[in-house]
Amino acid sequence: MASTAIPGEISLRVVVDKEQNRVLYAEAGKDFVDILLSFLTLPLGTIARLVSKDSTTKPCRFGCISSLYESVGNLDPMYLNSETCKQMLLQPRNSMECYNRNLKLNIDDTEPTKYNVCRGCRAVEDGSLVSTSKDMKCKCGQDFTRIFLDPCKSLLCSPLLSGSDKNTSGDAGDNTWEGYVKETASFIISDDLAVIPADFNTTLCLLKNLRFEGPPEESTMVLSSNEILDLLKCLLISKTALTDTLLRKEHSLVHSETSSKIFDERQGRKSTGTMEIKLLMSKSKSKIFFAQVEEDFMDQLLSFLTFPVGAVERVLEGNSGVVCVDKLYNSLFNFDSTVDMKSENLKHVFANLMIAPYFNVNNQMLPIDELKYPSELGICFNKDGSGRYYLTADASLYVHV
């Protein structure tokens, strides 16, 4: 379903039960579904920052993640390795940022990643002489002073793509990065954000399962960035995200609560290490007042801010207890890689979302990997003496500087 809204807005066809003032379901195409899927790629720290802002609704909190994020903001950099580390935690990178950059409405205000290289070093066999921060120093002692690469324009993210999807020309105008689903695909979205590829049988089954009085009413709603940010807030604290975003708004947001399921994730998993912490607690009330921890525990805790929410869902097997997030994540299993997705490899990528490059901590105890690139950096010289850097990831990639 193509969007008919003006630039900066998208349209959404919604079916509403007027008697109960609730959204039964919505019909959407690429623009809206791309935005929903992009929510799964956002690092937890980014979500905490975004939902703390005003939109059509008031700011909200992302549970303990918001508390952790605020703690980093108030933390003196002397307790971290550097000021850069603090900025990395407050502005965590998205390993899928290239796909999200051209969304019709992109609410992520994180500054796009740029790579810096040391002027003094001309070749390296690993990625150690490349930095996403110009404030870091090379191992030779010099500053990273040259911004030499925009990863989305050069398609540095090529490990995410299948061979047929790679753009070997490096053309920034290529549409490889424009979202996740195909232009021709259409979807049904339930009130709790379960997304189902649309067909006659899907719609029929949905109508049979819905209970409503009187004839439903159809309408087309126009969404701006404010409504998309509202939706992200409702995604975290409501079981009826579409209704609360489009109909009930402020009243429901203030009073909505999300129940959580608690279960032991350690069963059937191999331990990757242990850490010791000291606790001050009340045994009679089974309540912990505070914990005294060492560096290794803090590294693990702070790394939570860098995790994509979809990667956390994978670790929790799609059962985080945040209803709408669970429904959205588990919807991916209903997608057809060849019919619905823009790239056949994207469904696999979503099932294995990674931390952005250079954001992993040593001895990470959770099974969430870091996206690795570039694997090599070097420099070639032309006959006229001018140079060009090259990167290799899955395949060689040459970029003029």
Give CA–CA dist 92/287, Å, rounded.
32
**Helix 44-51 and helix 63-74, axial crossing angle in degrees, nearest 10:** 90
What pLDDT shows up at residue 121? 65
Strands 10-17 and 22-28: antiparallel
What pLDDT shows up at residue 374? 53
Give CA–CA dist 315/324, Å, rounded.
17
Question: Cα 293 to chain center, whole Å?
Answer: 29
Give CA–CA dist 68/91, Å, rounded.
14
Question: How many helices, marked H, and strands, marked E, lie in the chain?
Answer: 14, 13
Give the global pTM.
Answer: 0.82
Torsion angle, alpha carbons of 236, 241, 246, 248, to 10: -90
| Residue ranges covered by each domain of the chain | 10-113+154-263+296-359
What pLDDT shows up at residue 141? 76
- Low-confidence residues of the chain, pLDDT below 50? 1-4, 123-127, 154-174, 250-271, 375, 377-381, 390-401
- 3-class DSSP assignment, residue 187: strand
Give CA–CA dist 297/289, Å, rounded.
17
Cβ-contact 95, 41 below 8 angstroms: yes
- Judge if the upstream peptide bond of residue 374 is cis by omega within 30 degrees of 0: yes
